[in-house]
Structure 1
Amino acid sequence: MPISIDACVAQHQGDRREQQDRVAILPHPRGGGVVLAVVADGMGGHTGGVLAAQQVIHTARDNLARFSARTESARTLLEACINEAHTLIRASRFLNEKEPHSTVAMLLLQPDRISWAHCGDSRFYHFRDDQLVFRSTDHSYVMQLVLQGRITPDQALSHPNRNILLTSLGGAQAPKIAFGECVGLHPGDTFLLCSDGLWSYFSDQEFAWVINGSSSVREASELLVNRARGLAVGDGDNISLAILRLFETPPAVKTRPPAGSA
């Protein structure tokens, strides 16, 4: 039975002065069941973060338009998107006198597989029904402490240095990029990309319950944003997310014409 996609994006400015995140779900202009989802969390003072995040989306769109699934690997596309955006963000510093940076999470969906890449603390999640299959690991100071066993994941959420990143797009050093792939997709697979303005309020299991328990990804996104806003109590960051859920497409029902009809 063929598989279809239910997908949406959602954003909220939170309690910040401006929305510096950008998010997009980009179908390949030539079709073929290829879709690229991107979440970029911009940083860098007034308008600087906006410029950086917009550059990530723009570069991703341009690279996707040139991508050929027959002759290029998904990793090549994702790596080019991130590295080219990094270079252009760095160059914009001299034109705009800003200090723009951005994190990013990307997902490339093809008919038989998904491939992902991320830099910084924007996250990628893969759920199958109500179970977590995979979650990306943040490139952050507190995540390094967690991996070293020096603090717990719960302690990381309130650590005073939780906003320190080890890498980002636009920094002095080339961005550190993590890649992954999953072959063999199933109905019930759901993919979430989001900025830290959302994931900091949810455990992995809470995400799974909300997403799996919702009748549509639009309903899930509304529930997640509303719950995050309620927990922020007036001090919430920008929120951005993209959700893609796979489901079986029922076969078309063939009807016979009435007897005697022309």
Structure 2
Amino acid sequence: MRKENSDFKTSFLSEAGSFMQNKDYFAYAELDDVACWVAVKGLDADQEINSAELAAKGILEKFMEKPSMSKRSIKKYIKNAQNLLQAQSLRVRLKASIVVVVSDYSKMICAVAGNTRLYHFRNGLLTYKSSDQSLAQELVNDRNSSFDISQHDERTNLLNYLGKPNSFQPFVSNKIKLMDGDVLLLCTSGLWEEVSEIEMADALEGAKEPEQYTDLLEEVLLSRQKKVVNNYTIASIFANKIYQETNKKKMKYIKMIVAALIVALIVGGSTIFYQAKQAKKLAELTVEMKEHEKTGNVNFQDGNYADALLEYSEGRNAAKKLKDPIHRNLLARKLRVTQLIINGDKAAEAGEFTDAMAHYEKAKKEGKLIKSFGKEVIEQRITNMDSIVQIVEGIKDGDFRFEAEDYNGALETYQKARKKALAISFTGEPQIKVKIEETEEKIAELKKAQKELKAEGLEKNGDQSYARQQYLQAIESYTLAQEIYQETDLLAKVLGLERKIMNANDKLNPVPQAQPADTAASGAEPPMDEATVADQHSNTEKEGK
């Protein structure tokens, strides 16, 4: 496990600059024993097909199928991207400039087609820079001069690039040894035309993490304050710790070879040595094939389908070398089933349920050919897919009812959908819960509004009864209205009704007032209530004025 025993950190950013569309693209894959980083700049004007993305994915697709650090394999990866661009060149010829770095975490190989670049820094100094396949670079090479290519008029006049109709010859370097603390920088012309190598090295001094380095380089680039900023991609890889090769395996094989040589000398025939060597190689391949299949099965059972896919692929390659058709076909079937499950999961996540079901059905059919391989997993996915479709349809129906203000109907629909989501651990369950809470709030608001309307009606009835001097009926209406206002937390309304109830009670049960004897005897008018006294007092003041 080279990756686990090394420390490589990657950070990148890819921006459109002053343009609406970003024609650059960066992608990478770090596997257990080998990694691949790809930076691409699209050179065509096609608005529908992103040639950079197509090329990067084409390279990583082949890399994932057969991970290798050999120059021959890397050329095949790039050739696949070349074929993809040529096949998709329907409206315009798709073109791209690309740099590819493949590493086994202790060494690396760089491949270039065009003028996308790799810079390799060690101890803050530039130790390697990829060469452009441009006329400007050729002029530098021919004249043995060192003028600045970034400012030369022919820097974009590429002699080789992805999508070239004929004589396509990418550059592939030899293996380059890595050391702890090395920094790799992959970038498109949008960066290196504006940021010098000295500035790249200076930015490393204050960068402890790859994110800091890419951010600093972007700041330097944007500080130029150009009216037009081209698409740019910056990807930095900090090789904090490389994988340390061990000599134990080498010594083991040396001892085995020495033993075999001794046997050969004793027997006295080179034929026996050759046969022993071949038998040893076949035995190693057999062990390797079975180990890959075993590890793949464990990963498959654990649901680590991407890792299982890689193991089955390695096992199948070993079976091919062994010329073992039985295991080759078996592992090819397992590889196919695993890939179909992965494709189905991706389609389901994207909401493409028809495509997902098609992948799962194909996986089920393929699995039947090898003792129902993956049957339970696939059937569970198919069952869950039916539920997911029902859940999604339920959510849509609930949304429709919610928009139509049928909140009770929406609530019932959402609750059914959530129940199904919980049953299959559907990832969208939290969103359904939020919809339920929003619907319940709407229902509560409506109920509160209805209660307020009812209370207002009772209060109005109370006012009418009071006006007709039906104080008992007025008190009953006011009391009922007050209870409802209390339930709806309308405290101002509660206090207002309390005053009305007190007034009605005073009218219903007036307090008797003592009268002087002479006044009563003389037949004077009965005492006036407070309102009458207030009115007369007001009139007296007016007359006085």
TM-score (norm. length: structure 2): 0.42
Could you tell me which amino acid in structure 1 is paired with residue 35 of structure 2? V
Does the Cα contact within 8 Å between 2:62 and 2:80 map onto a contact in 1? no
1:232/1:138 Cα in 2 relative to 1: closer, same or farther (>3 Å)? farther
1:248/1:68 Cα in 2 relative to 1: closer, same or farther (>3 Å)? closer
1:106 equivalent in structure 2? 100
2:58 equivalent in structure 1? 59
Could you tell me which amino acid in structure 1 is paired with residue 192 of structure 2? W
Could you tell me which amino acid in structure 1 is paired with residue 187 of structure 2? C
Matched, 1:143 2:162: no
Does the Cα contact within 8 Å between 2:150 and 2:192 map onto a contact in 1? no
Distance, in Å, in 2 between the alignment partners of 1:178 and 1:184 is: 18
The within-5 A match list for 1:217-256 is: 217-248=210-241
Of 239-248 and 173-182, more deviation after overlay is shown by: 173-182
Which of 29, 51, 75 is 1:26 aligned to?
29
TM-superposition CA deviations, 1:21-75 (whole Å, max 9, x none): 10012123xx23x211000100111426x52211211112211212244xxx431
1:120 equivalent in structure 2? 114
Matched, 1:12 2:15: yes
Which of 181, 197, 208 is 2:201 aligned to?
208
% identity of equivalent residues: 20
2:50 is paired with a residue whose SS is: helix
1:83 equivalent in structure 2? 79
Structure 2: runs of 5 or more not aligned: 243-545
Distance, in Å, in 1 between the alignment partners of 2:59 and 2:67 is: 14
Cα deviation, residue 92, structure 1:
0.8
Whose radius of gyration is greater, 1 or 2?
2
Could you tell me which amino acid in structure 1 is paired with residue 103 of structure 2? L
Does the Cα contact within 8 Å between 1:8 and 1:25 map onto a contact in 2? no
Could you tell me which amino acid in structure 2 is paired with residue 74 of structure 1? S
1:36 equivalent in structure 2? 36
Distance, in Å, in 2 between the alignment partners of 1:111 and 1:159 is: 36
1:179/1:219 Cα in 2 relative to 1: closer, same or farther (>3 Å)? same
1:252 equivalent in structure 2? none
Distance, in Å, in 2 between the alignment partners of 1:57 and 1:160 is: 28
1:231 is paired with a residue whose SS is: coil
Matched, 1:159 2:155: no
Distance, in Å, in 1 between the alignment partners of 2:225 and 2:193 is: 10
TM-score (norm. length: structure 1): 0.83
Cα deviation, residue 91, structure 1:
1.2
Could you tell me which amino acid in structure 2 is paired with residue 16 of structure 1? F
1:92/1:218 Cα in 2 relative to 1: closer, same or farther (>3 Å)? same
2:89 is paired with a residue whose SS is: helix
Higher relative contact order (CA 8 A, sep 6+): 1
The runs of at least 4 aligned residues of structure 1 exceeding 3 Å deviation read: 181-184
1:232/1:158 Cα in 2 relative to 1: closer, same or farther (>3 Å)? farther
1:25/1:232 Cα in 2 relative to 1: closer, same or farther (>3 Å)? farther
Distance, in Å, in 2 between the alignment partners of 1:129 and 1:153 is: 25
Structure 1 or 2: more strand by fraction? 1
Distance, in Å, in 2 between the alignment partners of 1:231 and 1:110 is: 37
Cα deviation, residue 162, structure 1:
2.7
Q: How many residues align?
A: 238
Does the Cα contact within 8 Å between 2:98 and 2:112 map onto a contact in 1? yes
Could you tell me which amino acid in structure 2 is paired with residue 198 of structure 1? L
Structure 1: runs of 5 or more not aligned: 250-262
Does the Cα contact within 8 Å between 1:63 and 1:77 map onto a contact in 2? no
